[in-house]
Amino acid sequence: MAHPFIVMTGLSGAGKSVAIKVLEDLGYYTLDNVPPGLIPDALRVTGEGGYGKVAFVIDVRSGPLFQDALAVLERLGREGRRPHLLFFDASDDVLQRRYSETRHRHPLEAPGGVLPSIAGERRVLVGLRARADKVIDTTHLSVKDLRDTLHSLYGEGSTGMLVRVTSFGYKYGLPPGADLVFDVRYMENPFYVAELRPLSGTDEPVRRFVLGNPATAEFLGSVVPFLRSTMPRYEHEKKAHLSIAFGCTGGRHRSVTIAEEVARAIKGFWPGEITIEHRDRDRSDERT
């Protein structure tokens, strides 16, 4: 669904500066750090200028002017110009690290440093977060992940929650930020079949081996209906990005085949973008 009028807000350092550049690339006329009280006039002027898609950023940099934000948005809604409110969040430790890396000053500058400033900003933003139509938590998102998420939500193609399907090897650790993790190590292992060992889960002989296992059929028969049922609920809770991970011992055989099959099944019922990554498939052959 297209959103011609977007207002972005959220925690400082959570990704708004990246987002506004992405939306500009997607054809939006963008304005950063708009005093909320000026939004109606900015909307009128951009409309008169022929801009059909606009995106504004409002946040605590406006200082006392930001206090009117919620009231302005509610008034616009009553006038039939309700914006799509996009909220950016991240964990406190990640925000603190980002400030440490960039050495930027937090716009609130509360006594005691960055963490008290973040806490104060969260308090200011409580009402807007509750009002948000979509929340993007960038705690575990790379810049590319965030761009992909925004393209999925606001691009001209399919829209909806971005779904990332990942295969991995437990011996190399869990994927950071995975929302759902499924362990498939109990399935029969192609690693112990000499002719299959050098292949991977995307090769047809391994696929036939894995998919021919009754345990695999039973697993897919359970996990696909589970995802079909739960994914709309995740999106309903304003989640913009869902990460689903499948792990075997080394991330080369079973998890790769399963991730491919699940991604294929999801494409049959999910309108949003689906990406797939085989994190450990191409490591050395000393894996299972």
User: Does 285 map to a domain?
Assistant: no
Residue that finishes a domain, picked among 122, 154, 186: 154
Q: Please check the confidence at residue 287 and state whether its pLDDT lies above 50.
A: no
Q: Which of 104, 134, 154 is the last residue of a domain?
A: 154
Which pLDDT score, from 0 to 100, does residue 113 have? 84
Residue 101 lies in a domain: yes
pLDDT of residue 240: 82
Whether residue 2 is predicted with pLDDT greater than 80 in this model: the reply is no
Domain boundary among 132, 154, 176: 154
- Residue 93 belongs to a domain: yes
Residue of higher predicted confidence among 30 and 160 = 30
Q: What is the pTM of this model?
A: 0.73
CATH of the domain at 25: 3.40.50.300
Residues 18 and 131 in one domain: yes
Shared domain check, 172 and 149? no
The residues that bridge with 246 in the sheet, in sequence order, are 167, 182
Instruction: Name every residue whose Cβ is closer than 8 Å to that of residue 221 and which is 6 or more positions away in sequence.
Output: none
Model confidence pLDDT, tens digit, residues 167-181: 999 999 999 889 999
What confidence score (pLDDT) does residue 236 get? 84
Q: Rounded to the nearest 10 degrees, what angle do helices 204-211 and 254-267 cross at?
A: 80
pLDDT category of residue 239 using cuts at 50, 70 and 90: confident
Looking at the structure, tell me whether residues 118 and 219 fall in a common domain: no
**Is the domain of 112 the same as that of 166?**
no
201/205 Cα distance (integer angstroms): 8
Same domain, 232 and 167: yes
Q: Are residues 52 and 76 in the same domain?
A: yes
Q: Is residue 137, in this structure, part of any structural domain at all?
A: yes
Domain count, the chain: 2
pLDDT digits (tens, 9 = 90+) for 163-214: 999 999 999 999 988 999 999 999 999 999 999 999 999 999 999 999 999 9
pLDDT one-digit tens code per residue, 105-127? 899 888 888 899 999 999 999 99
Domain region containing 274:
162-278
Instruction: Give the chain's end-to-end CA distance (angstroms, integer).
Output: 43
Tokens (6 digits) for 27? 């054809």
**Together in a domain, 138 and 215:** no
Verify that 145 and 46 share a domain, yes or no: yes
Q: What does 222-242 look like in DSSP terms, one character per residue? A: HHHHHHHHHHHHHHHTTB-EE
